[in-house]
Chain A
């Protein structure tokens, strides 16, 4: 890449010249796309993230230092975005794994303690009937059929209610857990 030209392009971009932005886009968008796709492995998500990165480039154009390499600048922004995406994925998958009962509770572990507490407080928010069915399955280990007989409802209803409970937890848990992990007390006075 011709660095002198890129420096000029960055100078023009800094001044808000959209043509310079477009030129830099054409130089780098394929590299960015391929890079992001390596981690997201999904065309649609990759498009969204590539867009987001270029929008940030435009919005923060005044911060660009034309003397420094645009390649590294672009990478830094892309890297942070990809890292955030990976963090989010790790969080969601962990929550899912926990809810599907794949993660066994380890009382010594502070993170699992946290998640258990959050799940219990969320379960309290499930409508009573639905919660009852969910807990009969989760806590008392009754099968769908046993629950259906016990409550005199169809197995289909049991299935729907448990599925709804799980969907609710899957949706809410990551949000609560994220806030709980990111917030901390600095010191007691």
Chain B
């Protein structure tokens, strides 16, 4: 009984503080308490309950607002009044629709894992060479530290992350649409059943009918990943067992991770270097995959948050955080003490500047850092 009395008392105190906050009557001492209150998740329930009581008792019959004008503004934002609006407006609408599919919820990954095996590995390089003779290609290179967005001839929308390169035909062929990607990109592919859409990366080839998904295939990372947000995608050359003819098909919310076979990659790298003078063909060595995993995500937002200028980490070791920061802010990070690379970070950067991000990381990890031009040096303190 006593404990419930204290709980009541605490609830009342918290609500009283919030009442003061909204009526601008909080003293500095109370502001300090409020600040600590709002960042303590335990108090959220109490505040939510208070908000709910208000929702249930709020009086609004007498309210006099310009309902129509407000609705018109909402229509303007969602861009639905008129379907024949400009391309730009439609872009906004579509983009917003995409955002919705991914926003909110806690960042938990990994519900269960399924192992997939690879029996055949497509040789994508050959395809590139053949096709490029018939079709003219454009290439977009996104510099480190920036992002890019393009709309293709078929109105497929592609967001490119820092350091990505996309090669796409100026006009698609009659029977298919095909693009080549290095780095990370988010695709919103326009539906066209007659012309399947292919995304080729070094190590993974995806067949699409019309859908939204993220692909991450940087040359300097150990894995290639794709996460499906909506629709369905097929991974060419990836089969669940030898008898089965069909390729792996991802469901929305699933993520495929292919681990590169580093030994093979490195050997190929070395041979390329040796024969560099002889060979004119500077094609990237095709990557061997040693393991494939399908992960069902509880929340896909962290996978695509980069599109909305957000960086989300969930227990991410600093070695990975470092790579993301380098790409994101276009900097070079040198870590003097290797144990820092194993620190795991959880958090979100939402439009933070590089300074703000570094400061927050330092606060969490207690390391020292110095910035000279575009190079950051980090060491333990």
A residues near B (Cβ < 8 Å) are: 18, 21-22, 25-26, 29-31, 33-35, 38-41, 47, 50-51, 54-56, 58-60, 62-63, 75, 78-80, 82-83, 86-87, 89-91, 93-94, 97, 102-103, 111-112, 114, 117-118, 121, 175-176, 179-189
Contacts and interface: CB of A to CB of B under 8 A. Distances in A.
B352 A83 contact: no
A29 B68 CA distance: 11
Q: Which of A103, A114, A181 has the most CB of B within 10 A?
A: A181
Contact of B363 (A40, A41, A180): A180
A22 B63 contact: no
Contact of A179 (B38, B54, B352): B352
B342 interface: yes
A175 B356 contact: yes
Interface stretch (B70-78, B181-189, B211-219): B70-78
Judged by DSSP, the binding face of A is helix
A183 B345 CA distance: 7
A39 to B, nearest CB: 5
Interface stretch (B4-12, B92-100, B115-123): B92-100
Contacts of B346: 183-186
A20 to B, nearest CB: 12
B137 interface: no
B60 A111 contact: no
Contacts of A80: 104
B82 to A, nearest CB: 10
A58 B79 CA distance: 11
B32 A94 contact: yes
B63 A34 contact: yes
Interface residues of B, number: 64
Interface string B317-336: 00000000000000000000
Q: Which of B23, B35, B100 has the most CB of A within 10 A?
A: B35
A83 B60 contact: no
Judged by DSSP, the binding face of B is helix
Contact of A93 (B31, B39, B55): B31
B54 A182 contact: no
B352 A58 contact: no
Q: Which of A29, A62, A103, A185 has the most CB of B within 10 A?
A: A185
Contacts of B81: 18
Contacts of B344: 185-187, 189
A54 B58 contact: no
Given A18-B80, A90-B34, A103 B28 contact: yes
Nearest to A113: B363
Interface in B337-364: 342-349, 352-353, 356-357, 359-361, 363-364
Given A41-B23, A180-B363, A186-B344, 9 more contacts: A50-B70, A55-B74, A56-B100, A89-B21, A179-B360, A182-B360, A184-B364, A185-B343, A185-B345
A50 B100 CA distance: 17
B22 A41 contact: yes
Nearest to A125: B355
Nearest to B104: A80
A93 B34 contact: yes
A49 to B, nearest CB: 11
A75 B55 CA distance: 7
Contacts of B63: 30, 33-34
Given A22-B71, A103-B28, A111 B35 contact: yes
Contacts of A182: 39, 347-348, 360
A176 B351 CA distance: 11
Interface stretch (B43-51, B142-150, B275-283): B43-51
Contacts of B38: 86-87, 90-91
Nearest to A183: B347
A180 B359 contact: yes
